[in-house]
Structure 1
Amino acid sequence: MKTEQLTCDYLIVGAGAVGMAFADVLLHETDANILIIDKNAKPGGHWNYAYPFVTLHQPSAFYGVCSKELNRGIIDKCGMNEGLMGLASGQEVSAYFDAVMNETFLPSGRVQYYPMCEYQGDKQFISLLNGKRYEVSVKKKIVDATYLNTSIPLTHTPSFSLDSDVDFTPVNTVVPRIGKHQNYVVIGGGKTGVDTCLWLLQNHVSPDNIHWVVSRDAWLLNRKNTQPLDSFFFDTIGAQANQMEAIASSSSIDDMFDKLEERGVLLRIDKDVRPSMFHGATVSELELSALQSLTSIVRHGRVTHISKDELHFNGATWRMPESSLVIDCSASAITNLDIKPVFDGDVITPQTVRAYQPVFSAALIAHVEAAYADEKQKQVLTQVVPLPNRDLDWLPMTAAMLRNMKVWGEDEGLRAWIYHCRLDGFSRIVHGVAKDDMQKMQVLGRLKEAAVPAMQKLMTYIHDLKAKGQL
């Protein structure tokens, strides 16, 4: 079969959220021709395989592409997110990315889209439908939007083994199995495990019949502190001031986490269990209360094997109650924690340059590519914020994020772009404060005053951890 020759300015590998956010900025800020390839049948990446009750954990205002609103501007009036900005469902997010592709990208005439295709490297890809091969002449750069690899619950391989007679299901296929069991054993303490426990509770399963297997307890974020509305100023910006003051006034890392919890920046399920994990999962206070109603949380470390009646751990076993369905929620949200340069010759590798926000990060990186010519300046503006896994990872993540915010704030053009970017959220709240609003000005003053000593304290802790080989 003859190889077809294609031409573009930018070849984007991956039509997930990161690739779409990157392409959107290029489309609106340059006259570049863009070619997007993706192995899925539709844009949206892992959202094509999301479990049926998944929602965003943070407000929809922070998600999607810059040019098209995802959030409907609603405040939830019922449920466990009551009083907070709406969270798009998986179906809404999938339909949104489909609309962006078909209503914005393709009608522009500057975007070529090849779904159901797999990148082979060296500017070549192949159709998964008929094996047809393509070779691309790339005038500017290749964008690897697949680097932040997302592990999908439906297709990931569990780290444990199990016997063939175990009633077992990935979370994606749990709905048809619901109601056929008296007990539900949820394996996984991350976002998916949280979602599954909450979904069972919302569907009137008794807390006594939900058994949550948590290998590591996690520090959680309060969703009330992430609301990009002026009416939440004292929650959102107040939480940032509280965070800086907690760090600056702490006497040790443990004391810092205690102070972050006391000031409402971090939450945890059980006050008697010290979290050792941080993935940035966000919960409302109502969701936290619901999770705390669970009477059976199994903490023996990681599951190694599942037999018909027991879960096996290293050095421990736990007997499952009768009529149990085991639900696998153990897939990691993002599996690639290694860092590589965002800008490296003719390859751009989008990664997080702001914690918790991969799509904002992708949009900002695309803007830097479009607006700046000097390679070294691009690298300075896009230092990677490392993805967290352990509780200690919160420190370098926060330090890197503060460093980037300082650098961006010193660049007038980039500062203006962030202000107008809908994926940012907080800049307009801060810059909209009237000088005579003394209460809000006081919060901003606290934030500014504590920022430098907080950064110094973080760097001291990080230096000590590195000296001990813990980072």
Structure 2
Amino acid sequence: MTDLATDYLIIGAGAVSLAFVDTLLDEDPDCHVTIVDMHAKPGGHWNDAYGFVALHQPSAFYGVNSMGFGDDVPEVHGPNKGLFPLASGLQVSAYFAQLMDRRFLPSGRVDYHPLCEYMGTGADGVGAFKSILPGKTTSITVRRKTVDGTFYKTSVPATHTPQYTIADGTPFAVPGDLPNLWMRGDDLPGHYVIVGAGKTAMDAGVWLLQAGVSPDKISCVRPRDSWLINRTYSQPGPEFFGRVVENQIAQLNAAAEAETGDAMFEILGQGGYMLRIDESVKPEMFHYATISEGEIALLRTITNVIRRGRVSAIAPGRMRFADGEETVPNDALFIDCTASAVPFSESRVHGPQFRGDTIVLQPVHVPLVTLSAALTAFIEVHFDDDAAKNAIAMPAPLTDTPNTYPLGMLANLMNRGKWSKDPLISAWLAKARLDPTGTTVAKMMADGDPRLAVMAGFAPAVERGLPGLQRLAIAAQQGHRDR
């Protein structure tokens, strides 16, 4: 006799799992769901993120379908002036807590077990989880499926172990420590060294600059430079719709023209659709990070950039690299920003989402992970067998270089093509808050908005760009497997 029973056992209470559950509750009014998660609150890695972290994408299409997030008033000052505001980490966490407390739990159809570790589910459909603090193990009968929401294995600085040695006495911090530096009184660092090249490192740089730190007091260790999505072209609503479509057409045109993914990004960079901090350096990395031109302008004021590969060791005033040492002031504070939000070496190993009695949530439209999860729940309810479900929602690879990016872009196009031909999915997407253009297009069509005319250029761009995109994707496959 098991302790509990449920229809769907959800592993993880991060954004992806919650988006899946939200749509499942709407589409299958008879199902019961049990969520097991190791954090004390819903929201997954948002519980561990640094305090000044902000959502990359507009909150208008993040979270879950049933509950709006954020407002529609553009910023009136700062580096994101004129663009829709980015939700802070605290706002994201509060949003997911409200979702759990006001929608999921009051429904009577969701059981939530925080601070619990999933122990596995057997072939007999009996699973188990252990409460972390008292250590009690609970068994649970899973009537339908176990849903794994942990595929992304998100890593943040607070939970990440640096891959370099740190000598005793080295001034060291993670980004989450920075807002508390004021507590040290006059005992403040005379210099700051940002270790890492991703969006976390950029966030740390912007935070320091906006806090008043002089750019010459900041050094950046940047093993690889990154291409970045220009935030102007990823905004929601009719006002920005023309730019969103313009960007999509530009990407297809660039794919038709370019011989490699690197060349495709160079073309997009020349058009301002992709950005880079240093125009003189060829970026080797692309992690779907989004940034504004205002933030780029700030980061370009930091000229102490160290490009000697990865750090192998740090000590007061010193850093070791494979080819030697670099010195900084002895009182320099090293800020570790080397955690990878998504460990690409693990997440690149894909399989089908629907696997008999298990669903492994993966992106079907990169990088829109919550839309992907919500659509997966819709497909779970409305399609009959795993073969049909997997055929219409094939996982799209999360790639991390310009040369491999065409793989994800092609997968998005192929999936979107299938969805547009399915009346059920098309109707759902037209109402889906998480789809960046679905509800916007539906509203504009209802209003007879003349700005929809920009769509006339999309089909010809697909016809021109698709062969080039396929060619680039084929060339990228080996590079993606080798990472």
TM normalised by structure 2 equals: 0.93
Give 1:141's aligned residue: 145
Aligned AA (1:82): K
Aligned AA (1:366): A
Give 1:161's aligned residue: 165
Give 1:269's aligned residue: 277
Aligned pair count?
468
Decide which of 19, 22, 33 is 1:21's aligned counterpart: 19
Give 2:361's aligned residue: 350
Decide which of 185, 200, 203 is 2:193's aligned counterpart: 185
Distance in 2 (CA, whole Å) between partners of 1:400 and 1:82 is: 33
Does the C-alpha gap of structure 1 residues 344 and 253 become closer, same or farther in structure 2, counting only changes over 3 Å? same
Does the C-alpha gap of structure 1 residues 436 and 112 become closer, same or farther in structure 2, counting only changes over 3 Å? closer
Is 2:8–2:34's contact at 8 Å kept on the other side of the alignment?
yes
1:339 equivalenced with 2:350 (yes/no): yes
1:132 equivalenced with 2:136 (yes/no): yes
Is 1:365–1:382's contact at 8 Å kept on the other side of the alignment?
yes
Distance in 1 (CA, whole Å) between partners of 2:472 and 2:324 is: 35
Does the C-alpha gap of structure 1 residues 104 and 444 become closer, same or farther in structure 2, counting only changes over 3 Å? same
Give 1:100's aligned residue: 99
Deviation at 1:234, TM superposition (A): 2.1
Give 1:229's aligned residue: 237
Deviation at 1:152, TM superposition (A): 2.2
Report sequence identity in percent: 40
The 3-state SS of whatever aligns with 1:11 is strand
Deviation at 1:466, TM superposition (A): 4.5
User: 5+ unaligned residues in a row in structure 2: which ranges?
Assistant: 122-126
3-12 or 85-94, which moves further after superposition?
A: 3-12
Distance in 2 (CA, whole Å) between partners of 1:452 and 1:301 is: 41
User: 5+ unaligned residues in a row in structure 1: which ranges?
Assistant: none
1:152 equivalenced with 2:156 (yes/no): yes
Distance in 2 (CA, whole Å) between partners of 1:37 and 1:253 is: 40
Aligned AA (2:238): D
Give 1:176's aligned residue: 180
Give 1:194's aligned residue: 202
Does the C-alpha gap of structure 1 residues 91 and 176 become closer, same or farther in structure 2, counting only changes over 3 Å? same
Aligned AA (1:163): A
Is 1:4–1:133's contact at 8 Å kept on the other side of the alignment?
no
Give 1:453's aligned residue: 464
The 3-state SS of whatever aligns with 1:384 is coil
Distance in 2 (CA, whole Å) between partners of 1:464 and 1:105 is: 45
Give 2:475's aligned residue: 464
Is 2:365–2:412's contact at 8 Å kept on the other side of the alignment?
yes
Distance in 2 (CA, whole Å) between partners of 1:38 and 1:436 is: 46
Does the C-alpha gap of structure 1 residues 64 and 170 become closer, same or farther in structure 2, counting only changes over 3 Å? same
Is 1:278–1:393's contact at 8 Å kept on the other side of the alignment?
no
Distance in 2 (CA, whole Å) between partners of 1:264 and 1:404 is: 27
Give 2:124's aligned residue: none
Decide which of 256, 267, 279 is 1:248's aligned counterpart: 256
The 3-state SS of whatever aligns with 2:9 is strand
Deviation at 1:137, TM superposition (A): 0.7
Aligned AA (2:35): I
CA-based RMSD: 1.9
Does the C-alpha gap of structure 1 residues 465 and 366 become closer, same or farther in structure 2, counting only changes over 3 Å? closer
Deviation at 1:355, TM superposition (A): 1.0
TM normalised by structure 1 equals: 0.95
171-180 or 321-330, which moves further after superposition?
A: 171-180
Aligned AA (1:210): I
Is 2:404–2:480's contact at 8 Å kept on the other side of the alignment?
no
Distance in 2 (CA, whole Å) between partners of 1:5 and 1:304 is: 49
1:303 equivalenced with 2:311 (yes/no): yes
Decide which of 1, 7, 10 is 1:9's aligned counterpart: 7
Aligned AA (2:437): F
Distance in 2 (CA, whole Å) between partners of 1:174 and 1:437 is: 47
Deviation at 1:433, TM superposition (A): 4.8
Is 2:2–2:141's contact at 8 Å kept on the other side of the alignment?
no
1:395-414 correspondence runs (5 A): 395-414=406-425
Deviation at 1:199, TM superposition (A): 0.6
1:376-455 correspondence runs (5 A): 376-433=387-444, 440-441=452-453, 443-455=454-466
Does the C-alpha gap of structure 1 residues 108 and 198 become closer, same or farther in structure 2, counting only changes over 3 Å? same
Is 1:34–1:112's contact at 8 Å kept on the other side of the alignment?
yes
Is 1:239–1:264's contact at 8 Å kept on the other side of the alignment?
no
Aligned AA (1:102): D
Deviation at 1:431, TM superposition (A): 4.5
Give 1:43's aligned residue: 42
Give 1:288's aligned residue: 296
Is 2:117–2:130's contact at 8 Å kept on the other side of the alignment?
yes
Give 1:66's aligned residue: 65
Aligned AA (1:93): V
